[in-house]
Amino acid sequence: RAPFVLRALRIAVVVCLYWFTSIAMVFLNKYLLDSPSLRLDAPLFVTFFQCALTAALCLGLSAGAACGPPCPGLPALRLDPKVSRSVLPLSAVFIGMVTSNNLCLKHVGVAFYNVGRSLTTVFNVLLSYLLLKQTTSLYALLACGVIIGGFWLGVDQEGAEGTLSWTGIFFGILASLCVSLNAIYTKKVLPVVDGSIWRLTFYNNVNACVLFFPLMMLLGEFRTLYHFDKLGSPSFWGMMTLGGVFGFAIGYVTGLQIKFTSPLTHNVSGTAKACAQTVLAVIYFEDTKSFLWWTSNLMVLGGSFAYTWVKGLEMRKVQEDPNVKSSEKNEAGV
């Protein structure tokens, strides 16, 4: 075993890397989607470009690994139409997830973004019951109640401050639903790609690129791009590429954080990161927020942390008691 200090240092570096990548990606996407200096009203194109870059990076890394020593985490990638069709239902949910996330970010401030799409945990519980017939404990349901209360208080306070966007709220709720559905569909589709997250990421993003074309055509984004005055600007493409690289990297650093800590610690880290992101956004955009607005954020973060803590205790109880009923084992994994 590695010395304690070395292990602690490695965990600290991985957590910092996750925080930096995740927060930088949100701020970069906010710039690309809603910057007054950029004035680009083509959210689907921004999302399409990031998906195309992710697929290209997967392919490039796979080709690089094939030339060097074999890497078990990086399988050889080739496009199989049969596998692509099998992954298609997940790709449709994936498109809904990345598009609604970006559209929510476009219409709400970075400071409110975490609250705007905070109902993922609630949808996890709801869909687990509706689709998987898994029940949830009373304490976990109470934590979900706190999250819902924080969400509605946040919406109310955004309205009171005159910065509420119902379009942003709609896409935030849709993003929460899609994130939850994405987790369920990922589990179902993983066997098709031999359990490889890399292959799934590749197929998902290739499918998404194909599906985005008719959507961009339908919404007139090609016309918007044709009239966009910074289309030939190297700095614009630099920011687009950077956004795509961060979008690709977030999947990798998330996996690293789970590997070196645990899924439970990852959730706690994600909640703390959301808090830091909100504070940074308020400072950066020089916003002034009311006491109740901050209370709504604390309720969402507190509810999310409480849910994670309750689930952690339930999972530990399942591991310690071998006679626990299988239905309770399933419930602990929601």
**Tens digits of per-residue pLDDT, 115-159?**
999 999 999 999 989 988 888 999 999 999 999 999 999 999 999
Asked if residue 74 lies in contact with residue 65, where contact means CB atoms within 8 angstroms, the answer is yes
Long-range contacts of 234-243 (CB under 8 A, 24+ apart): 236/38, 239/28, 239/31, 239/32, 240/32, 240/46, 240/49, 241/53, 242/28, 243/25, 243/28, 243/29, 243/32, 243/46, 243/50
CA gap 50, 247 in Å, rounded: 7
CA gap 49, 210 in Å, rounded: 12
Q: What pLDDT is recorded for position 146?
A: 97
pLDDT tens, residue by residue, 32-72: 999 999 999 999 999 999 999 999 999 988 887 767 665 55
Share of the chain above pLDDT 90, in %: 73
Q: Which amino acid is at 255?
A: G
Q: What pLDDT is recorded for position 74?
A: 67
CA-CA distances (angstroms) from residue 265 to 67, 259, 311? 36, 10, 12
Angle at 99 between CA 95 and CA 103, to 5 degrees: 165
